[in-house]
Amino acid sequence: MPNDRTIIFVRANSPGSDETEWNDWYEKQHIAARLEIPGFLCIRRFRLSDGQTSNPASLMAPTYLALYEVDHPDVLSSAAYMKVVKHEASLGSDSFEARTRAQPHISRGIFRQIFPPSDVYTVPDEAEWLVAVGHGDLPDSLHREYDAWYNTEHIPACLRMPSVVTARRFEIQATASGASSKVGSNVPDYVALYDVTHDSLLSSELFEQPDSAPWQAVEYCKMNHAYQCIYRGER
């Protein structure tokens, strides 16, 4: 039985010089409106950690990551959610909503949890950091090999590290209408999220030298539409 837990994964920059006001709006209006909708479990925001990126695609990574978690994909087509979305779409071009959607480096997608199969997850209090790893453009012939390595080798090895509290994987999903949920640039097909207690995970051998992985899948993901970033929690 598939896991119904679904996330909206958004990476973005502040849309202008009024970053303080934008952050205040994001927390008190944008997030608050969604937390009133049945099915929204939690919304967290993170800020990119200085110097904690790996590979060229990560060097220009957006500063902020927002992670919206819902208990079922149907929440994102519910009347309550669509009411909020339609209202925000009607706002003027000078609104924070419109400016955020229009900024050139936004990256947004809807993803369903594929590992672990259980949907039991609570935000760990002790994990202040989030590692986000994105992979895309993986050939169909490598999917099985890629999933097997990630689920049976890489994630178990990560979870044995003292700093790693949780590890989950997600796959891109279409919208309720069947359209692509990808908005903006560098939206991956797969996202792995690791709740960690400090920001050194990306410098570990597991990320710098994944020698135990099937070479075809790993080498392909190094070169195609991939990034590794670590973010620090904002709320």
* Structure confidence by residue, pLDDT tens digits, 19-64: 999 999 999 999 999 999 999 999 999 998 875 544 444 556 888 9
pLDDT score at 167 = 95
Give the residue-averaged pLDDT of 142-157: 89
| Cis peptide upstream of residue 139 (ω within 30 degrees of 0) | no
- pTM given for the model: 0.89
* Structure confidence by residue, pLDDT tens digits, 119-133: 688 999 998 899 998
Between the alpha carbon of residue 75 and those of residues 9, 119, 192, the distances in Å are 15, 16, 22
Q: Could you tell me if 66 and 43 are in contact, meaning their C-beta atoms sit under 8 angstroms apart?
A: yes
Between the alpha carbon of residue 130 and those of residues 26, 43, 83, 124, 165, the distances in Å are 19, 13, 31, 11, 10
Domains in the chain, ordered, with CATH? 6-233 (3.30.70.100)
Report DSSP letters for 123-175, one per residue. Answer: --TT--EEEEEEE----GGGHHHHHHHIIIIIHHHHHTSTTEEEEEEEEE-B-
